[in-house]
Structure 1
């Protein structure tokens, strides 16, 4: 009997030990699962959205020279756009990996002789100036002669850029007599920053006046007085099939075109001297711009439509790049004191709309920005006629740098 009871006690103790072990094992396994999950996160979820999207871009494009889904290294405006965002993230965080990402682009694309790979001066393409901002950031830090030589090459394009009869830069050599809103962002912040860095006295004043003149011409030729919105392009010759025969303007208000213009305004103001007479003129344009875009902001989502004044029309959609650009422009405009404080509510509503409707996060933490218009332009071959049907039928894709870059910039302005 004594043996029997001892056996029962042994079995009970054994079972209790097993149960206890099972409980511990389950707890340990659970903790390990959490640790494993966090180890598998490519992008940590506890960072601000600006870093989360920047790290996601660096994951998608480990080489900044291939940022725009390119198979080969390429000098293009999209690289400069995302790397401006990287620069601001670096300046905010001080983390070396962001600086290295920027530097590696320049190191790849500028040869030891100071030549820019894949860049062709003969094309006189304003788009190509935007990545020059990367070199303006790096040259004072590195003092590398090759970066200075590349900068001088880009400035030589400005000096030789074909112009309209009243002094406006053609968007590209092959787009004769045409100014596009896009071109103001591509050229003017670079032009103003280069001038601030390398020119002084009368030479600088003339250059700053030239920068402001480009905005004056867009306001003169592309502004719709009824809505305050700006048409995508203006043909000084009025010969293009897309051009209005009386005004020379293209027929629609494209979201991203106006987004480029708004960003151009707030960024150029970073480099114009405080006492320069043209500053107040640009601030006035910015206020007109802000008033016009908030009137076409979608009430429900806070976002903006691909074709701005035709919200809800069949085929139209809430577009990510324009929405991010407007958010950035409004937030920065208020932060810098150029715009009344009331516009911060519009910026915050738009930003929340982007998060609610256009941002998704993968299980590994990688952040995606969806519903970005891949590309849109005027003329060319095949011919782009600027009609409503043209804009709403261009390809839509996720994580286009023309959306992710402005999203990061907007996040930083709102400290998100």
Structure 2
């Protein structure tokens, strides 16, 4: 996809113009990612970027982006026969299930059954997915037995909820199972003093990082919290309000929002590792993917009435502006970069502070681009309605 012409007018911006309130960072950043090229396939990073592009399309109605995105799915995710390319029916990794959300989106857009059929394959894989003794999905078999990570909630349970709402809304057993996944994560990873959540837990307490009493991981890793924060918003939208689990999801979101508000640095931003005493410690830094996730969640929470505007608008606004100032840079061709993104974070590690801060930082990662687009879309909705 390199060398594409600019898809959106007015995208070549000077540094001064890029700071103007009238700049649509949503449009320019979406265009920038497409011009650089996005790998085909169902990797969760690309699936996350596609979620941001779906919001971009909702607001801009840009047919060039829509055509490009459809081609990405039709040639990189689905084969000519409509089946998922290289999908392994006996490989159980929650990361791979995220693309199911995008397939449902395309089914809703086009009515073409191939998208629903492909999403159904993923939904049926969840029925076979290994679980720990509490009923929670393993993050991956055989790599992470009995472990639940915050990441996995975003990868699988948002999809589980979306699928059920669209195709099986009267399945009370499914709704009970979905809320169980969130309840287990809350029970085992939430710190009720800070209102933040550690990266995950091992139900059997045998992982090298697991607390011998609780099974919990030791540290709050920002992007894992961001994955969970976004998933809560997605689940709240699709989960039936008549089910008692809906009120719990709302409470989980509100409580986490309170913790994030308290953890925000006063100049706008969140540390890679948010567990005391590490904020401000050597090697720690303000990380951009989690930052975008939190800004998106705060802004959408305010817009949808989940959060009190008088309490949260200040931190949401200052953090959005900090996101632009700290992490967005411009190239000579008018495209934008998004910098300071941690490459990965995994509980395949020893879970120590030294591990997390030792992971390299990357530029223009899809796992950051998607949340940036979501945050920019919320900001521009707010500004357009002001």
TM-score, with length taken from structure 1: 0.84
- Post-superposition CA distance 1:276-308 (Å, at most 9, x none): 321111111111101111111111x21101001
Alpha-carbon distance, 1:347 to partner = 1.4
Residue 49 (str. 1) matches residue 25 (str. 2): yes
Cα RMSD, aligned residues only: 1.8
1:145-184 aligned at under 5 Å gives the runs 145-174=113-142, 175-184=144-153
Residue 252 (str. 1) matches residue 219 (str. 2): yes
CA distance in 2, matches of 1:392, 1:200: 43
Alpha-carbon distance, 1:273 to partner = 2.4
CA distance in 1, matches of 2:97, 2:228: 15
Which structure would you say has the larger Rg?
1
CA distance in 1, matches of 2:293, 2:112: 33
CA distance in 2, matches of 1:91, 1:142: 14
Q: Which of 27, 49, 56 in structure 2 is aligned with 1:89?
A: 56
Q: Secondary structure at the match of 1:278?
A: helix
CA distance in 2, matches of 1:133, 1:95: 21
Alpha-carbon distance, 1:274 to partner = 3.2
Residue 74 (str. 1) matches residue 41 (str. 2): yes
TM-score, with length taken from structure 2: 0.90
Alpha-carbon distance, 1:369 to partner = 0.7
Residue 327 (str. 1) matches residue 292 (str. 2): no
Alpha-carbon distance, 1:135 to partner = 0.9
| Aligned position for 1:121 | 89
Alpha-carbon distance, 1:354 to partner = 1.2
Alpha-carbon distance, 1:74 to partner = 2.5
Q: Which of 353, 358, 369 in structure 2 is aligned with 1:404?
A: 369
CA distance in 1, matches of 2:369, 2:289: 7
Q: Which of 328, 351, 362 in structure 2 is aligned with 1:386?
A: 351
| Aligned position for 1:293 | 260
1:343-382 aligned at under 5 Å gives the runs 343-379=312-348
5+ long unaligned stretches in structure 2: 1-5, 14-21
Alpha-carbon distance, 1:200 to partner = 3.4
Q: Secondary structure at the match of 1:163?
A: coil
CA distance in 2, matches of 1:251, 1:326: 21
Q: Secondary structure at the match of 2:102?
A: helix
5+ long unaligned stretches in structure 1: 1-37, 67-72
CA distance in 2, matches of 1:208, 1:412: 29
CA distance in 1, matches of 2:284, 2:244: 40
CA distance in 1, matches of 2:279, 2:125: 39
Aligned length: 362
| Aligned position for 1:232 | 199
- Post-superposition CA distance 1:14-40 (Å, at most 9, x none): xxxxxxxxxxxxxxxxxxxxxxxx99x
CA distance in 1, matches of 2:200, 2:279: 21
Alpha-carbon distance, 1:47 to partner = 4.6
